[in-house]
Structure 1
Amino acid sequence: MTPSSYGSRLSGTKTIYVLFTILCLLLSTSVASQSTGNDQAKGLDVASINIPNLQNQIEIDGNYSQDEWQGSQLVELAYISRPFENLPPPAKTNVRVFENGSELYVLFEAFDPEPEQIRAFLRDRDSSFGNDLVGIKLDPYNDGRLAYQFYANPLGVQNDSIENEMTGSESASWNGIWESAGQLTETGFVVEMKIPLRLMNFVESDDIKTWAIEFVRFYPRSDRYRLSHVPFDRNNSCGLCQMGEANGFKDAKQANDFVFVPTLVVGSGRTRDPVETNDWEYQNNQEFGLDVNWSLTPEVNLSGTLNPDFSQVEADVAQLNINNTFALFFEERRPFFVENAEYFSSNLNLIYTRNINQPDYGTKITGRVDEHSFGLVVANDNTTQFLVPGNLGSEVAFIEEKSINIASRYRYDYSDDFSIGGLTTFRKSDSYQNAVASIDLRYRLSEQDTIRAQYVRSQTEYPEFLQAEFCDNNCSEDEDLSEAALRTALTDRFSGYSYRIDYNRETENYYLNARRSATQSDFRADLGFVSNVDRARYVFGGGYNWRNENSWWNEIRVNGDWDITHNDNGELIEKELEGYFSVRGDYQTFARVGFTERNRVGLRFDNSILSIDGNTSRFDELSNSFYFTTTPNQIISYEFFARIGDRVDLANNRLGDQVFLEHEVTLNLGTHARIEIEKTRSRLDVDEQALFVADLYDVRATYQFDPLQFVRLILTYSDVDRNQQNYTFDVDANSKNLGVQLLYSYKLNPLTKFFVGYSHSAFDDDSLDKIRPDNQSIFLKLSYAWFPDF
């Protein structure tokens, strides 16, 4: 593409963007007179409710009995909090609640004018968020920082999580042991819950306590309505700060509970390299492990694990890794690291525990006392792996040495608006070490404005042999060095810093955000996931919302941002402008169109130096995107994403034309069965010829017998075709990968579980005549939660 042709395309896009903005402003004038909510509800002080202390005998079976719930507090969900603001709800919901000093009992009586439209399916735990749901949010400290969430669908399937206002994130990986049951009725459904208070941290005292509380119902019909017993003000960006209050819990105590979870893992497998040989190598595995959790005090928990099984029972979602120079991110799923992970969160991802690959033991202490919260985790590892980051790519390094891994976190909440904290990590093996120390803060300037900031320093020492791993042991003679080889050419101890400052303003009608971040070339956070260094970035963005209550659409948004990135020497790496227009409406539909203009660098000409100016090509990318999702009924949900336009061919350092498509279909086949089909296609053309076409399929079929047990089949398949004549180096014309997992799961609770399964993988490339298996295994895992009564 010539500069002149690009300039004409660029100016044309800007013209469209200006006209589009004018259209949106005209649209805002036409709907400005429409109410966006019940203005009288804004700013109201929500009256506290009193939760009685009763000794009623409740059987958690989903059957409402007035005698069982005699004397309980009655609460009605009187507001729609989303997508509208504090309007009357489309269906009535009564909540009854009481506590007995050790458990909280909650009853939801959910009425429905069309009971046949209720979306209730048997699913695995934490997998029914698209269903009708009822639940409770609890903040025992009543300071708007963290809330425990307990939800259940009409059949009693549990969903629980922790919402963290400090980081703006929500962790569905947290699991508590509590009881729930649900029943469909002629007028709707009933759900009963029994929540042990010991699941939550709170301050013990002999006084009546005031906790923040919210009762919630999700009502998915033409829209996914969120119903609440309290009104919310959209001009207040802090959601947890607007929860209601509950007085009670005078006799609430937390015993110093012990939980022992012995684990047995039995497996057998075989592997081979079908390119070199057809001979299989067999392995058998029998392991016994133990997890221990001990509530030292009501606010402090100690946990440990010996010989843990960290096998991936939950298969990672497949990802395409083509035309990409940075390492892929996968979620942590292992119970020991997931539990109480919110105590270690900060603005930067400095703790990514999947870097701890093969531990023999681990211990963790977490807690909160008054305004102080803290966490400490220690684990060994039989290998040492970490990211080698760069500004144009990153790679994973492996050192065959045992290591010790330590992470700690402390936060002091000076007031409801100001918090300050620190975080440290440390990793060390015989020839390697990395230490990180940081300080961070959060300050709410007003109900709409928040500042978050974090500053980090690191000190690292690489082994002398590490660089050789990235240049095939010929670093002095190899002229085509990777960036990882250059970043590891450090034989002495080195240090660097990173920082990030975020400002966010969020109101009812618009939002603004600004960010400044910088990470020095010699900064490393090897226990975290920091794949970019030698980068300094500015980001400025914002958006405007129009809301409507009387039409097929309920929200229109225009938003976008501009960012620019340089390296440590001030050399330009990337400059980007993005703009989006989105509509949310009936049938739980959301559609968004967008454009991106990006000026970016490609590969380095001279790979022996890290400079950018005069050492890289510079490309102008212009692309358009479209995203669409809808759930028109109980049976089907559909999601689609498309990106079409310029994309740099990162293998050959040229500008190409990309078509990237993602489809995802979810089918609910009756109450028990569910099928999820995801298809991804990436096609890149260069010089009017195909360079590659990559297809990825991820199919998951699940049959849920009841809330406790299911059987699931996962099939993943990738197929990459390359035009060898259009590459500047030798490549395989075709490569295929196949993965299969069949799993039966029985979960009495999050800690008492039984799994048995089979996994299979195979691949094909130009050196093989057909796709051939390279790994097969069967496995069994059994764990049991024992609560001794000392």
Structure 2
Amino acid sequence: MFIRLVASALLFIGCNVVAQLADESPLVIPNIKGAVVVDGVLDEPQWQAAKVITLNYVVRPHENTTPPVTTEVRIFEDDKTLYIGFVAQDPDPQSIRAFYRDRDKVWSEDLVGFKLDTFNDSRLAYQFFTNAYGIQADSIQNEMTGRESDSWNAIWDSAGQITATGYQVEFAIPLRILNFKEGENDKIWGAEFVRFYPREDRYRISNVPTDRNNSCNLCQLGDVSGFKQAKQGQNLALVPTLVVAKGRSREPETSLDWDNSDNQEVGLDVSWGITPEVSLQATLNPDFSQVESDVAQLSINNTNALFFSERRPFFLENADYFSSNYNLVYTRNINAPDYGVKVTGRQDDHSLGVFVANDESTTFLIPGNLGSSVAELTEESNNLAVRYRYDHSSDFSVGVVGTARESDNYHNYVYALDSKYQITEQDTLRVQWVGSQTQYPTTLYEDFSGETRLRLQKDDAFSGQALRVNYRHNEANWRFKADHFRNDKDFRADLGFQRGIDRNTSVIGGGYRWYSENSWWNRIEVFGDWDIAHSDAGELLRREVEITTSVRGRWQSRFELGFKGRDQVGLRQNPDSLKVDGNTTLFEENSASVFFEMRPTSSLYFALFSRVGDQIDFENNRLGKQLNINPRMNLSLGKHLQLNVRHNYSNLDVDGQQLFTANLTDARLTYQFDQRQFLRLIVVYSDIERNLDNYLVDTTDIHSSSRSLGTQLLYSYKVNPLTKFFIGFADSGYQNDDVSTRRVAEQSVFMKMSYAWLN
């Protein structure tokens, strides 16, 4: 009897070991030849011979539970193209959330797609997704920085259709758009196949289970094997561009006469796969002006420069190669180059990114410890960025970054060393040290006042250093962080975006999470942190405690309640001294905030953030009472029309009286005809009212009332990310104490077109 029990136990253990080994073995992708029409119908014989898998795990918001719907994936390749078909069953096809949208604008809808780590080193992964209509969304996931970016746009084919039992989607991914190591043997890549099923909850359904206790996401991909004969080719794209624009501007306060301008530019963009692992992008005579307006931001009572995301394709392509803990490469600083060249690539454990570009002018931040400003030189500059990373193992990476900006009377050189160490599955340490050398034009300080003027008063070149240390512990139920940032008074990173110097900050925080799979809520988290900041001289700049409680629940809802208490110094009383102690007032600010978002139907998303409490009046250096209300709404009117509205209401009262009330509205109405074309109307309205009687400073240059209105009408037709056509009209105008009615100050009409020749 005992022998039988032992034998049975050994047999049970052996079967489980075999099953685990089978689960861990690579998924073999068959090589099948023959033409396939990408139309959303999986009716070619190749699909019947394809490898078939099912998505068996809900990995979010639950942990590896049984999915509420069935999803089948079919996969094969033919040496040149990877074909993937999804058959997504749905018990109620009328509830499928799918709309006609522009590329990368479908992330909240019913989606199917996959991740590919073509080097299988858990560093970078390509992501390809579409909604039920085949509208594309692609991105790069960077495990080194912990960020995802959908600014990467590749040329691939997809098609989808809703059926009586759900929907079907076909993907055709040309292997030439991927970076991978060629060879004569089967290649083993990391992969995950995913379906997003948004209903009351937004289910993320996968073919591989996820361990919440493992903070490394890409380490948990499954393996796929195949692509033995895959070749990349030269992947050469020549993209000539044409820009035709006409505009006019004026200053209504002084004259109603128009100054006219014309712009006709012919340029060329080049993309070339030098080797299977290394690619080159170049641009000649580009027009780098914005096609679409940035999302409007309110800058009143703000002592720091505003941040705007990069949108220009040349700088977005392979931008992840230049990322590190510090934002040392912020390409919006380069405004109007005549040329740009970029080389990026990976070889074994090495990755490299280099770009060079000139600029007709030179714009950079002048940072401080109580604020920052923007300086602009009318001198042409040359700009260089270099990023190298060595991945010693899946747990440890080191890298270097170098940037340079030079003009006739100015330069800034930056050199940095960074590393990431995955200590355990739960513990991650990131460290970066940065050095810089800078020289300003000797008379530049004369254009500024206060702290900025003092930071610019440098007769010779000067050097500075910065250090950033981040530790993260992340488990299923709790997380912990500890950070230290040190930017000394002479540190500058002018090609990057660094608003603070002469500032040393330490942060410690942690939180605990509860999960539920059978309630109206699926996750509750309580998180708090404490931070303190000093100048290089040890003077207190800020001390803050913050605690937040968040609840995620049905209808894809999230509710957060936060409380913040901090001691914060105001502006310097003597602007001709950089001293803080004895030269500033330490204010005690206490505030509460609430955030709520929900997607109750497929057609409606809304969110609201509000903060109430104390706020420093930086204009007059005293404490006031703030009320900020920031609602946001996305409303779909049918399958083609969408309205997006953001509003920012900000009110500050001091000594029981209003100081200012500001309203800013950004509204965008888009009609998406099909996958390729849309018509968009953008309206941005600003209204600021000030009570000048409540100001302590000279109000000669301050308007009691100022309003502005800007509009843009844009038509876009995109064959693919490189072949596209834009035509649009934009104008902006304002009124204030000196201009009694709204007067248009700027108008422009423009056309841009590009065509890609691919090889």
Q: Under a length normalisation based on structure 2, what TM-score does the superposition of the two structures give?
A: 0.96
Correspondences of 1:23-62 after superposition (within 5 Å): 46-62=24-40
What does residue 521 of structure 2 align with?
Answer: 553
What does residue 637 of structure 2 align with?
Answer: 669
Q: Which amino acid aligns with 2:718?
A: K
The answer to whether 1:648 aligns with 2:626 is no
What does residue 19 of structure 1 align with?
Answer: none
Output the CA distance in 1 between the equivalents of 2:194 and 2:140: 15
Q: Give the drift of 1:67.
A: 2.2
Tell me if structure 2 keeps the 8 A contact 1:42–1:231. Answer: no
The answer to whether 1:240 aligns with 2:223 is no
The answer to whether 1:694 aligns with 2:665 is no
What does residue 316 of structure 1 align with?
Answer: 294
Matched residue SS, 1:116? helix
Q: Which amino acid aligns with 1:744?
A: Y
Q: What is the alpha-carbon root mean square deviation over aligned residues?
A: 1.1
Q: Which amino acid aligns with 2:387?
A: R
Please list the CA deviations of residues 235-263 of structure 1 after superposition, one character each: whole Å capped at 9, or x if unmatched: 00001100110010101111012110000
Please list the CA deviations of residues 706-737 of structure 1 after superposition, one character each: whole Å capped at 9, or x if unmatched: 01000000000000000010011212110111
Q: Give the drift of 1:635.
A: 1.5
Q: Which amino acid aligns with 1:93?
A: T
What does residue 345 of structure 1 align with?
Answer: 323
Q: Which amino acid aligns with 2:750?
A: F
What does residue 335 of structure 1 align with?
Answer: 313
Q: Give the drift of 1:66.
A: 5.6
Q: Give the drift of 1:769.
A: 1.0
Q: Give the drift of 1:44.
A: 10
The answer to whether 1:401 aligns with 2:369 is no
What does residue 591 of structure 2 align with?
Answer: 623
Q: Which amino acid aligns with 1:578?
A: E
The answer to whether 1:732 aligns with 2:700 is no
Correspondences of 1:208-287 after superposition (within 5 Å): 208-287=186-265
Output the CA distance in 2 between the equivalents of 1:581 and 1:73: 45
Output the CA distance in 2 between the equivalents of 1:358 and 1:72: 49
What does residue 8 of structure 2 align with?
Answer: none
What does residue 423 of structure 2 align with?
Answer: 445
Correspondences of 1:285-684 after superposition (within 5 Å): 285-470=263-448, 481-684=449-652
Counterpart of 2:73 (choices 81, 92, 95) is 95
Q: Give the drift of 1:690.
A: 0.4
The answer to whether 1:754 aligns with 2:725 is yes
Output the CA distance in 1 between the equivalents of 2:20 and 2:640: 42
Q: Which amino acid aligns with 1:254?
A: Q
What does residue 714 of structure 1 align with?
Answer: 682
What does residue 188 of structure 1 align with?
Answer: 166
Matched residue SS, 1:342? helix
Output the CA distance in 2 between the equivalents of 1:663 and 1:65: 47
Tell me if structure 1 keeps the 8 A contact 2:36–2:44. Answer: no
What does residue 784 of structure 1 align with?
Answer: 755
What does residue 31 of structure 1 align with?
Answer: none
Tell me if structure 2 keeps the 8 A contact 1:702–1:711. Answer: yes
Q: Give the drift of 1:46.
A: 3.6
Alignment length, in residue pairs? 738
Q: Give the drift of 1:42.
A: 11
What does residue 203 of structure 1 align with?
Answer: 181
Tell me if structure 2 keeps the 8 A contact 1:91–1:111. Answer: yes
Q: Which amino acid aligns with 2:576?
A: S
Output the CA distance in 2 between the equivalents of 1:189 and 1:84: 24
Output the CA distance in 2 between the equivalents of 1:42 and 1:567: 55
Q: Which amino acid aligns with 2:96?
A: I
Tell me if structure 1 keeps the 8 A contact 2:32–2:46. Answer: no
Output the CA distance in 2 between the equivalents of 1:104 and 1:222: 34
Tell me if structure 2 keeps the 8 A contact 1:56–1:69. Answer: no
The answer to whether 1:775 aligns with 2:736 is no
Counterpart of 2:126 (choices 148, 156, 161) is 148
Output the CA distance in 2 between the equivalents of 1:257 and 1:160: 19
Output the CA distance in 1 between the equivalents of 2:23 and 2:87: 26
Counterpart of 1:744 (choices 705, 712, 715) is 715
Tell me if structure 2 keeps the 8 A contact 1:598–1:620. Answer: yes
Unaligned ranges ≥5, structure 2 = 1-18
Runs of 4+ in 1 over 3 A off after TM superposition: 41-47
Counterpart of 1:176 (choices 154, 161, 171) is 154
Tell me if structure 2 keeps the 8 A contact 1:714–1:741. Answer: yes
Output the CA distance in 2 between the equivalents of 1:524 and 1:43: 53
Tell me if structure 2 keeps the 8 A contact 1:494–1:522. Answer: yes
Unaligned ranges ≥5, structure 1 = 1-40, 471-480
Tell me if structure 2 keeps the 8 A contact 1:43–1:233. Answer: no
Q: Which amino acid aligns with 2:707?
A: K
Q: Which amino acid aligns with 1:493?
A: A
Output the CA distance in 1 between the equivalents of 2:22 and 2:477: 20
Output the CA distance in 2 between the equivalents of 1:779 and 1:202: 40
Output the CA distance in 1 between the equivalents of 2:532 and 2:409: 38
Please list the CA deviations of residues 744-785 of structure 1 after superposition, one character each: whole Å capped at 9, or x if unmatched: 000000000000000001111111111111000000000001
Output the CA distance in 1 between the equivalents of 2:311 and 2:115: 23
What does residue 474 of structure 1 align with?
Answer: none
Matched residue SS, 2:64? coil
Tell me if structure 1 keeps the 8 A contact 2:680–2:714. Answer: yes
Output the CA distance in 2 between the equivalents of 1:654 and 1:317: 30
Tell me if structure 2 keeps the 8 A contact 1:695–1:720. Answer: yes
What does residue 28 of structure 1 align with?
Answer: none
Q: Under a length normalisation based on structure 1, what TM-score does the superposition of the two structures give?
A: 0.93
Output the CA distance in 1 between the equivalents of 2:291 and 2:334: 17
Output the CA distance in 2 between the equivalents of 1:42 and 1:768: 75
Q: Give the drift of 1:314.
A: 2.1
Please list the CA deviations of residues 81-120 of structure 1 after superposition, one character each: whole Å capped at 9, or x if unmatched: 1000000111100000111111100000000111111001
Q: Give the drift of 1:677.
A: 1.2
